[in-house]
Structure 1
Amino acid sequence: MVKSVHSERQKLIATTLAEQRRAKGISQAELAKAFGRHQPFIANIESGERRVDLVELLTIADAIELDIHALIERLRTLPR
């Protein structure tokens, strides 16, 4: 089994978060501050170095106005 931190699903989460954040014109530092964290926290998620848990994902998705349901549907199309 592929380690989930490097799975296609995890890569999709990381790239989707980064793309949506940039599309909204929000810097990693701004997002991190709103989240009560430092910029490397967001950078590590977006680079795939750190997994994001469900609560973090929902919080970030709300901050960047990401449709979490659409992301989940895209994740379901990828191999486990």
Structure 2
Amino acid sequence: MGNFSEKSLFSAEGEAVRLALREERKRRGLTQAAVASGCGWPQSVIAKIEQGERRLDLVEFLWLARALDAKPEVLFGAIMRRVRKCPA
């Protein structure tokens, strides 16, 4: 787990979140543009999230899960499985 001064965007946990979200999008055969449209965002927002240039807050995560047609708790479970593999 990172320390308070570490930027979460650049942490192993941040990478785990990005990978899980991108993997879920691709698994469902969706483009960044399709997911962004489902959230009411420009495509560039999804690109920035997946590239680690932008974080999500909890409400945005819920919107993103809805746009992916995924249950938030299942999507979060996929994220947590990746986070558990992160070095301490």
The TM-score with structure 1 as length reference comes to 0.83
Are 1:29 and 2:33 matched, yes or no? Answer: yes
For residues 31-46 of structure 1, the aligned pairs below 5 Å read 31-46=35-50
Q: Following the alignment from structure 2 to structure 1, what is the Cα–Cα distance between the partners of residues 63 and 51? A: 18
Q: Following the alignment from structure 1 to structure 2, what is the Cα–Cα distance between the partners of residues 76 and 57? A: 19
Aligned to 1:18: 22
**Given that residues 35 and 67 in structure 2 are in contact (C-alpha distance below 8 angstroms), is that contact kept between their aligned partners in structure 1?**
yes
Q: Which runs of 4+ in 1 moved over 6 A?
A: none
Q: Following the alignment from structure 1 to structure 2, what is the Cα–Cα distance between the partners of residues 70 and 5? A: 18
Aligned AA (2:34) = E
Aligned-residue RMSD, C-alpha: 1.9
Q: Following the alignment from structure 1 to structure 2, what is the Cα–Cα distance between the partners of residues 70 and 23? A: 13
Q: Following the alignment from structure 2 to structure 1, what is the Cα–Cα distance between the partners of residues 30 and 19? A: 15
Aligned to 1:3: 7
Larger Rg: 2
With over 3 angstroms needed to count, the CA separation of the structure-2 counterparts of 1:27 and 1:40, relative to structure 1, is same
With over 3 angstroms needed to count, the CA separation of the structure-2 counterparts of 1:23 and 1:15, relative to structure 1, is same
Structure 1: unaligned runs, 5 residues or longer: none
Cα distance, 1:3 vs structure 2: 1.2
With over 3 angstroms needed to count, the CA separation of the structure-2 counterparts of 1:62 and 1:76, relative to structure 1, is farther
The TM-score with structure 2 as length reference comes to 0.76
User: How many corresponding residue pairs?
Assistant: 80
